[in-house]
């Protein structure tokens, strides 16, 4: 996803809030549902004024108008159907849609929009409008209305310009985003930006902006950014959200959100995002290429609810090659603050559930250190279970772990440098750990058969140093079949089925049925696969092959 365009924010009033208190030790029986919090160091009003000063220094305007995209990205006069920029928008963000052909948009406005829309186009092509919904009332945190729209039918490797509209003829300025290639792509994972956790919102905001600038410069084709939670420090402090959403990349590079303990169990933070396939608890899933991504909100979850969510997401995407799960608390972490206390308690609660669903990789945050586990399965809570649960691996000549059993758990360090914790003594389950008190992020690269994670720390001069790399290689065999049923007239019913066989012997299938003209050929989407089918006569199939 290439980065361009700039949007600005117009913060509304900031409601008064009491500082959240740090929780004491919590029994394991309560850990599934109880949120956590940390105290603010400065009063909200002082922090808000400091943010305004930072915005002035860093060029992050506090006005609500969006800046114009570069001239090369804007349409010419024949296609710019909405050139006015009368609509003030705030807290604009993009997110991955249900699959790689979709994006979701969220923004806030001072006035209610009966029919919020996204107008989107590529090059000199005609623009298309997609409409969505607007919240019935203003959000308590911002005093603004929330607008959600999903855009579909996007093509891979394509630059799009877009405007946000209210349905009454007013539009924002132009933003720009570029889609990735789902057949081979990369994305970024970040841990705990936690704007405000240092007690200095401007400093944390600058750290977040700098990290996204480094990511944009070093990995300009990243398809999206995935968060592991704790975007902010305190749920009711608007200046922290303003800081988090202020970088220009938030309006061009899709961000897959996750709720952390600092977002808490309330619905307020969820309104800043518009994830696909979301349930009422804030759990959601999406696919990109051959991978199923599942995001679980531990704040309101239980082992039973996690199991039901994972089962539902996997049932909807049975042929995915890789399965990735994100939730906030680290269950195989290394930080001295959480890993061996509440982290271990969460491990006892949730890892037995994860084992049931063949999850390849789990991304966590929470402990503000970096670690990667060996492939693990749950083997009880005794100390010896850490080593007993380790799964043997076979590596190929390139160093990739071939068809590993178990799940590899990543705990990510702070992406902003707002807060770091010390490392505990290395645990038997830990393959790699690091804490150098520098912001970190992880790049994940996915191909048809491999998933590679590479973790970097940002140096003082904004160069990056790789501190870890790990590759999973999957042996997956796929085949496609098709059948045609003769219908009346000139149409037939075509059913295409994809069969998947994994190295562990498990199988899955996905099917799609469409109406076609007789003697036609075409490419059809079946789950995460594209299948080319050429038919002949009333009910014959001449060619059937997976092409993507």
Number of Cβ within a 10 Å radius of residue 273: 23
Whether residue 268 has pLDDT greater than 90: no
Neighbour count for residue 356 (Cβ, 10 Å): 11
- Asked whether the beta carbons of 79 and 164 are under 8 A apart, the reply is no
Whether 377 contacts 467, CB under 8 Å: no
Question: What pLDDT is attached to residue 106?
Answer: 97
The 10s digit of each residue's pLDDT in 142-179 is: 999 999 999 999 999 999 999 999 999 999 999 999 99
So what's the pLDDT on residue 464? 97
User: Strand 284-288 relative to strand 255-256: parallel, antiparallel, unpaired?
Assistant: unpaired
Nearest to 151 by CA among 107, 194, 121: 121
The per-residue pLDDT for range 100-137, each reduced to its tens digit, is: 999 999 999 999 999 999 999 999 999 999 999 999 99
The Cα 34–Cα 18 span in angstroms is 18
Taking only the tens place, the pLDDT of each residue in 42-91 is 344 444 444 444 444 443 333 333 433 332 333 333 344 445 668 999 99
Tokens matching residue 504: 């562990």
Check residue 57 and give its pLDDT: 40
Q: Mean pLDDT in the chain?
A: 84
Torsion of CA 386, 391, 397, 398, to 10 degrees: -60
Sign of CA dihedral 387, 391, 392, 394: negative
How far is 279 from 284, CA to CA, in rounded Å? 6
**Distance, first Cα to last Cα, the chain:** 20
CB atoms within 10 A of CB 381: 13
Instruction: Specify the residue for token string 């000199």.
Output: 124
Q: Which helix (H) or strand (E) holds 457?
A: strand 450-458
Please state, in angstroms and rounded to a whole number, the distance separating the CA atoms of residues 217 and 50. 27
Of residues 264 and 495, more confidence is placed in 495
Separation of alpha carbons 387 and 403, rounded Å: 20
């Amino acid at each position: 996803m290439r980065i361009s365009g700039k949007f600005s924010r117009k913060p509304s009033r900031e409601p008064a809030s009491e500082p959240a208190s740090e929780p004491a030790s919590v029994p394991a029986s309560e850990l599934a549902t109880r949120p956590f919090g940390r105290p603010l160091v400065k009063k909200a009003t002082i922090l808000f004024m400091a943010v305004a000063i930072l915005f002035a220094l860093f060029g992050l305007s506090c006005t609500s108008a969006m800046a114009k995209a570069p001239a090369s990205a804007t349409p010419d006069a024949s296609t710019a159907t909405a050139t006015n920029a009368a609509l003030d928008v705030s807290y604009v963000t993009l997110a991955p849609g249900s699959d790689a052909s979709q994006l979701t948009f969220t923004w806030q406005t001072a006035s209610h929009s009966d029919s919020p829309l996204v107008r989107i186009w590529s090059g000199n092509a005609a623009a298309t409008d997609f409409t969505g919904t607007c919240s019935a009332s203003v959000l308590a945190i911002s005093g603004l209305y929330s607008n959600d729209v999903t855009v579909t039918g996007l093509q891979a490797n394509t630059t799009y310009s877009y405007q946000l509209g209210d349905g009454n003829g007013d539009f924002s300025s132009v933003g720009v985003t570029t889609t990735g290639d789902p057949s081979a792509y990369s994305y970024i994972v970040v841990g705990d930006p936690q704007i405000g956790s240092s007690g200095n919102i401007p400093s944390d905001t600058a750290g977040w902006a700098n990290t996204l600038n480094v990511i944009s410069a070093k990995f300009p084709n990243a398809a999206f950014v995935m968060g592991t939670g704790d975007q902010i420090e305190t749920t009711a402090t608007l200046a922290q959200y303003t800081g988090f959403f202020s970088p220009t990349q938030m309006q061009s590079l899709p961000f897959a959100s996750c709720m952390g303990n600092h977002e808490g169990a309330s619905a307020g933070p969820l309104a800043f995002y518009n994830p696909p396939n979301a349930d009422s608890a804030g759990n959601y899933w999406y696919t990109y290429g051959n991978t199923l991504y599942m995001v679980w909100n531990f704040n309101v979850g239980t082992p039973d609810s996690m199991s039901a969510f994972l089962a539902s997401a996997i049932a909807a995407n049975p042929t995915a090659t890789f399965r990735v799960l994100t939730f906030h608390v680290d269950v195989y972490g290394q930080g001295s603050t959480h890993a061996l206390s509440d982290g271990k308690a969460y491990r006892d609660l949730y890892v037995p559930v994860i084992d049931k669903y063949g999850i390849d990789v789990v991304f966590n945050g929470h402990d503000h250190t970096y670690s990667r586990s060996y492939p693990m399965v749950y083997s009880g809570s005794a100390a010896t279970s850490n080593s007993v649960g380790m799964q043997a691996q076979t590596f190929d000549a390139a160093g990739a772990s071939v068809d590993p059993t178990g799940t590899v758990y990543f705990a990510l360090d702070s992406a902003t440098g707002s807060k770091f914790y010390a490392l505990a003594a290395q645990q038997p389950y830990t393959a790699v750990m690091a804490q150098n008190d520098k912001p970190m992020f992880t790049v994940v690269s996915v191909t048809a058969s491999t998933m590679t994670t590479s973790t970097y720390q940002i140096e003082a001069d904004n160069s990056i140093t790789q501190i870890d790399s790990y590759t999973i290689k999957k042996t997956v065999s796929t085949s496609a079949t098709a059948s045609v049923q003769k219908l009346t007239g000139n149409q037939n019913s075509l059913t295409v089925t994809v069969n998947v066989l994994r190295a562990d012997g498990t199988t899955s299938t996905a099917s799609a049925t469409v109406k076609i003209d007789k003697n036609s050929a075409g490419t059809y989407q079946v789950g995460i696969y594209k299948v080319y089918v050429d038919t002949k006569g009333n009910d014959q199939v001449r060619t059937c092959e997976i092409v993507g």
